[in-house]
């Protein structure tokens, strides 16, 4: 439905400087993964800035006007 390739299900390793404030030792590696559904949602609804999709800048009217589930794609 998006008519383009989109990365979904990305993963990675946290950088060491992000783990230090959590009190973890420097020799610890932490992996993270997720579905990354934000990207295809942003493309589908023409959102250019992720802060307009999640966070304090979300347009609540867009949330109210959009269907919860799209079965047409």
4 domain residue, yes or no: no
54 domain residue, yes or no: yes
Give Cβ neighbours of residue 9 (< 8 Å, ≥ 6 apart). 33, 34, 35, 36
Which residue, chain included where needed, has tokens 């250019």? Answer: 48
Look at residue 50 in the predicted model and tell me its pLDDT.
85
**17-72 pLDDT per residue, tens:** 888 888 888 888 899 888 878 888 888 888 888 888 887 878 888 777 876 655 55
CA distance 22 to 51: 25
Look at residue 72 in the predicted model and tell me its pLDDT.
59
Q: What is the mean pLDDT of the chain?
A: 81
Look at residue 49 in the predicted model and tell me its pLDDT.
87
Number of domains within the chain? 1
Look at residue 16 in the predicted model and tell me its pLDDT.
85
22 domain residue, yes or no: yes
3 domain residue, yes or no: no
46 domain residue, yes or no: yes
Other Cβ atoms within 10 Å of 57 Cβ, number: 10
36 domain residue, yes or no: yes
The pTM is what? 0.50
Domain assignment of residue 46, given as a range: 10-65
5 domain residue, yes or no: no
């Amino acid at each position: 439905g998006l008519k383009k390739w989109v990365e979904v299900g990305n993963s990675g390793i946290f950088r060491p400087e992000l783990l230090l404030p959590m009190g973890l030792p420097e020799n610890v590696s932490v992996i993270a993964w997720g579905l990354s559904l934000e990207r295809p949602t942003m493309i589908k609804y023409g959102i250019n800035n992720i802060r307009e999709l999640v966070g304090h800048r979300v347009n609540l009217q867009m949330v109210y006007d959009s269907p919860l589930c799209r079965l047409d794609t």
